[in-house]
């Protein structure tokens, strides 16, 4: 009986008008101050300041009006601590729920590298899946056939595919590789005009057309490109992400722009590029123009001069620099609000392989926090300009990607699937 009375008494002391006024005024002040909090430190300051404001309102307009005795230090300290902690925890839960909702709204595409390879080995017209056969013996811990391919332990890899909304071809093909044995990570761009063998048809084609997929085998574009890149590099693709570069504008703006430093002013009327000499905090539109430029002019010796012989190779360099600048920004979010804005922008821009979960993304971001951007090797595939049998302008590799990687690392890299 005594226990019940004590519980009722405690409830009455907690759920009072005074405490309601304190909680309400504290929350209202926090919402107002959060509109100005754009860093982690300011979020904490907003929580503490809001608690102080709520405490002042409670003290002078409620508690002080009822008694000439000032509130005891103990209850005051409890309100300060509980109020600030509750605000921060509540804000963290709210932000986490927003992030989870945005992440779950990102479109996904099926990706199973081993299954795609097996399907591509079968002649067109032959079923790519075997008929169901009754199993008479246990299969042990084998995963179900439709389970996504799990990343290898030797490398953590991501294939970025920037789509051309007009043609459906891959305008950007950038491979990011982090060895798990401590060797330096690297990125490798594949020029969109690189002439390769199509795994779907067996014929020759530009690599950017593979992003259309293989309809005859029900293989999407991200998977077909992953098969090709895995074969060319000898390192399996773990995840892929497809994006429309026009939508990338929102991602760049969400991180506050990226820095582009130039020795000379540049312009390209077709790409709508116009950047001055020196360093510019470029907006999303400026960065997109810089990445897409193919007819660049530089202001040298008092006149505008074309930059010859660059084309796709120049675009590849700009793409890599853009990704590095974004990585630098993403390593240090100034506030949870900015993180939410970036994830929301990504949700509207990217399509991810179904192998990449939120847990994987957090793990990748956490593991990359100590990577020095300057230590990421930017590998380039040597090519020569040529013409295809149909008289298309193409690029032919003069050194294979496998050899480029081997020349850079020697025996430093782990063996794939070891």
Going by pLDDT thresholds of 50, 70 and 90, the confidence category of residue 332 is low
pLDDT of residue 418: 55
Beta carbons of 152 and 204 less than 8 angstroms apart? no
Give one word for 262, left, alpha or beta, with left for phi > 0 and alpha for psi -120 to 50. Answer: beta
pLDDT above 70: percentage of residues in the chain: 75
pLDDT of residue 369: 65
pLDDT of residue 323: 80
Going by pLDDT thresholds of 50, 70 and 90, the confidence category of residue 233 is very high
pLDDT of residue 129: 46
Domain spans of the chain, in order of start:
2-104, 108-125+147-244+331-409, 250-322
Tell the residue number behind the tokens 């963290």, with chain if given.
Answer: 92
Q: Of 414 and 43, which is predicted with more confidence?
A: 414
pLDDT above 90: percentage of residues in the chain: 30
Please name which of 300, 225, 289, 226 lies closest in space to residue 252, comparing C-alpha atoms: 289
Predicted model pTM: 0.72
| Domain 250-322, CATH among 1.10.287, 3.40.630, 3.30.70, 2.40.50 | 3.40.630
Beta carbons of 252 and 258 less than 8 angstroms apart? yes
Tell the residue number behind the tokens 């990585």, with chain if given.
Answer: 327
Cα end-to-end distance, the chain, whole Å: 67
pLDDT of residue 62: 64
Going by pLDDT thresholds of 50, 70 and 90, the confidence category of residue 398 is very high
Q: What CATH number has the domain spanning 108-125+147-244+331-409?
A: 3.30.420.590
pLDDT of residue 417: 65
Q: Of 147 and 25, which is predicted with more confidence?
A: 25
pLDDT of residue 396: 94
Please name which of 323, 297, 303 lies closest in space to residue 378, comparing C-alpha atoms: 323
Res. 157: pLDDT tops 80: yes
Going by pLDDT thresholds of 50, 70 and 90, the confidence category of residue 13 is low
Q: What is the mean pLDDT of residues 243-263?
A: 82
Q: What is the mean pLDDT of residues 133-148?
A: 41
Going by pLDDT thresholds of 50, 70 and 90, the confidence category of residue 228 is very high
Q: What is the mean pLDDT of residues 136-165?
A: 60
Res. 139: pLDDT tops 50: no
pLDDT of residue 120: 93
pLDDT digits (tens, 9 = 90+) for 293-320: 878 889 988 899 887 655 667 777 888 8
Going by pLDDT thresholds of 50, 70 and 90, the confidence category of residue 148 is very low
Q: If residue 30 lies in a helix (H) or strand (E), which one and from where to where? A: helix 17-34
Question: How does DSSP classify residue 306?
Answer: E
Res. 230: pLDDT tops 80: yes
Question: Looking at beta carbons, which pairs linking 354-361 to residues 24 or more positions away fall under 8 Å?
Answer: 354/108, 354/109, 354/110, 354/111, 354/148, 355/111, 355/148, 355/149, 355/150, 355/151, 355/238, 355/239, 356/239, 356/241, 358/100, 358/103, 358/104, 360/151, 360/239, 361/103
Going by pLDDT thresholds of 50, 70 and 90, the confidence category of residue 137 is very low
């Amino acid at each position: 009986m005594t226990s019940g009375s004590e519980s009722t008494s405690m409830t009455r002391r907690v759920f009072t008008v005074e405490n309601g006024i304190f909680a309400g005024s504290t929350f209202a002040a926090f919402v107002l101050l959060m509109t100005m909090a754009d860093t982690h430190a300011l979020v904490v300051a907003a929580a503490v300041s809001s608690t102080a404001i709520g405490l002042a309102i409670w003290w002078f307009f409620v508690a002080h009006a009822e008694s000439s005795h000032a509130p005891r230090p103990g209850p005051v300290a409890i309100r300060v601590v509980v109020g600030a902690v509750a605000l921060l925890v509540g804000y963290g839960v709210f932000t986490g729920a927003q992030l989870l909702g945005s992440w779950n709204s990102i479109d996904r595409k099926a990706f199973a590298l081993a299954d795609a390879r097996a399907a591509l080995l079968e002649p067109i017209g032959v079923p790519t899946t075997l008929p169901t056969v009754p199993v008479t013996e246990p299969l042990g811990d084998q995963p179900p056939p439709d389970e996504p391919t799990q990343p290898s332990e030797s490398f953590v890899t991501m294939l970025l595919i920037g789509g051309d909304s007009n043609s459906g071809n891959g305008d950007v093909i950038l491979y990011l590789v982090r060895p798990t044995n401590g060797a330096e990570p690297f990125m490798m761009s594949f020029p969109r005009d690189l002439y390769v063998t199509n795994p779907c048809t067996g014929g020759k084609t530009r690599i950017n057309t593979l992003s259309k997929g293989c309809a005859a085998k029900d293989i999407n574009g991200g998977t077909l490109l992953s098969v090709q890149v895995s074969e060319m590099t000898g390192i399996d693709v773990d995840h892929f992400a497809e994006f429309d570069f026009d939508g990338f504008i929102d991602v760049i703006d969400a991180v506050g722009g990226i820095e582009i430093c130039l020795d000379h002013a540049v312009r390209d009327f077709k790409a709508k590029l116009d950047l001055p000499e020196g360093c510019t905090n470029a907006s999303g539109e400026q960065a997109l123009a810089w990445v897409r430029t193919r007819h660049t002019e530089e202001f040298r010796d008092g006149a505008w001069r074309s930059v010859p012989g660059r084309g796709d190779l120049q675009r590849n360099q700009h793409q890599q620099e853009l990704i590095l600048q974004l990585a630098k920004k993403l390593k240090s979010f100034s506030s949870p609000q900015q993180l939410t804005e970036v994830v929301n922008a990504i949700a509207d821009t990217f399509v991810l392989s179904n192998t990449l979960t939120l847990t994987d993304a957090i793990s990748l971001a956490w593991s990359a926090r100590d990577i020095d951007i300057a230590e990421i090797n930017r590998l380039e595939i040597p090519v020569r300009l040529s013409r295809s049998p149909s008289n298309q302008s193409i690029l032919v590799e003069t050194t294979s990607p496998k050899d480029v990687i081997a020349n850079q690392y020697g025996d430093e890299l782990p063996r794939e699937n070891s």
